[in-house]
Structure 1
Amino acid sequence: MTRLAVFDLDGTLVDTAPDLVDTCNTVLARRGVPEVAPETLRRHIGMGARAMIEASLRLNAITLAPAEIDTIFHDYIEHYASRIDKLSRPFPELLTALDTLDAAGVGLAVCTNKREGLARQLLTALGLLDRFVAVTGGDTFPVCKPNAEHLLRTIELAGGTRERTVYVGDSRIDRETATNARVPIVGLTYGYSDVPMTDLAPERLLGPGEDVGAAILALFPEDAGLQAAQ
């Protein structure tokens, strides 16, 4: 493999917020916690399910023991797995990008902090799993994003090299991961981040409807050099 594009999942490849937010509110409602508005919870998705649960409790001024939060988190995972693709759909721009990259001979992989089993379940349900040579989650390795090793080991598993890889993400965690791994990133503005991607200085910044595939291709060394010469 000569070139590799690695994608975050939630908020990058797939708009999973409706299922994630509904799951959080449903599980907490069983314990009498008032619902938190979806637009508020979206900002916490990039930090993981437990962080979203803790944010909901904090916003409702509720303090629980760590053991009870562990139980809620377990219930969250169980409920989410039962309805993982009820409302989640791929972003159209990313489906087009996958086609563009396939046609250009670029390998594709996923690096997400979602549990690997859930990531594979979601990608399978959406008919996307076979498009990726590697899928790694937050529990695949001893470390996870923003630790550089999560991305670097994903690249290695996919048969790529850091020097010929572009990462695609939507959050502060993704920007930090790419920086730590010394891999350029295409940053998407329409995902789930506690800090706007516009403030994170990605190598390429894209909004809704823009050509993600072309932006990725332009970041590979030979393509960047070709563009500069034109």
Structure 2
Amino acid sequence: MEPFEDCRAVVFDLDGTLADTVGDLATALNRTLAELDLPPHSEDAVRGMVGGGLAKLLTRGLAAHNVLLDGAEHEAMLARFVAHYAGNPAERSTLYPGARQTLNVLREAGIACGLCTNKHEPIARDLLDALGIGSAFGAVQGSETGFPRKPDPACLIHVVKTLGASPETALMVGDNATDLKTARAAGLKGVVLVTYGYSVTPVTELGADLVINHLHDLVPALALPERAQ
């Protein structure tokens, strides 16, 4: 495909795109399950449950034990889950190879970077700072801040506007069908999906404009080497 030469902004997903966060999510989930006298899930099992935010992860974690809580009970345990996770969101989480370097190249090229995630925003910001990339983003939008969760496009549209860009000059980089649907609904110029994330369906089957195996592959797609010189 032709490079996105007129791209002015790139909005990233967080979990499964920029960082592998499953280790800390599994720790927090298992601490929550222990409070219900339920056995822990393996990290690999939790990896298959991630997507859509902490509430959905808790629901899936409980369902794997054939447990369904009513509304009040679920909300109470969700609050416990959020507290466990917020207390230590970055002990085992790591950036994917090329994440830091790619963000640096984008910044040097004058490309504005944003983040749109279904993770609770305060936790997302703490995690970004702990990973040393918080300053790379001109806009960070997470859940619990008045916007509906992805795939509703409102959060993504807000990030693009905050970056001073328009949908026609912005890309979304994510790892699953939710990111793709969000970007399409927002009218973005294009959608790039990574192959190494948490998608249950192979991303090559989702219809993205570009599929990459490594975040470094985003640079030639944007024709950034020449622009950054």
**TM-score, normalised on structure 2?**
0.88
Partner SS state of residue 92, structure 2:
coil
**What is aligned with 2:195?**
189
**What is aligned with 2:9?**
4
Report the more deviating stretch, 79-88 or 185-194.
185-194
**What is aligned with 1:160?**
165
Q: CA deviation at 1:195?
A: 2.7
**What is aligned with 1:227?**
none
Q: 2:50 aligns with which of 45, 52, 55?
A: 45
Q: CA deviation at 1:196?
A: 2.7
Q: CA deviation at 1:86?
A: 0.4
Identity %: 35
Structure 1 residue ranges without an equivalent (≥5): 224-230
Partner SS state of residue 172, structure 2:
strand
Q: CA deviation at 1:51?
A: 1.1
Note if 1:200 corresponds to 2:206: yes
Alignment RMSD:
2.0
**What is aligned with 2:74?**
69
Q: Which runs of 4+ in 1 moved over 4 A?
A: none
**What is aligned with 1:98?**
103
The code of the aligned residue for 2:60 comes to A
Cα 1:96–1:6 change in 2 (3 A) is same
Q: 2:22 aligns with which of 12, 17, 41?
A: 17
**What is aligned with 1:134?**
139
| Count of aligned residue pairs for this structure pair | 219
Q: CA deviation at 1:116?
A: 1.3
Partners of 1:63 and 1:145 in 2: how far apart?
24
Report the more deviating stretch, 76-85 or 206-215.
206-215
Q: CA deviation at 1:208?
A: 4.2
Partner SS state of residue 6, structure 1:
strand
Q: CA deviation at 1:181?
A: 1.2
Asked if the contact 1:3–1:160 (Cα under 8 Å) also holds between the matched residues in 2, the reply is yes
The code of the aligned residue for 1:76 comes to F
Asked if the contact 2:191–2:208 (Cα under 8 Å) also holds between the matched residues in 1, the reply is yes
Asked if the contact 2:114–2:159 (Cα under 8 Å) also holds between the matched residues in 1, the reply is yes
Q: CA deviation at 1:209?
A: 6.8
The code of the aligned residue for 2:47 comes to R
Q: CA deviation at 1:97?
A: 1.3
Partners of 1:218 and 1:47 in 2: how far apart?
32
**TM-score, normalised on structure 1?**
0.88
Q: CA deviation at 1:194?
A: 3.4
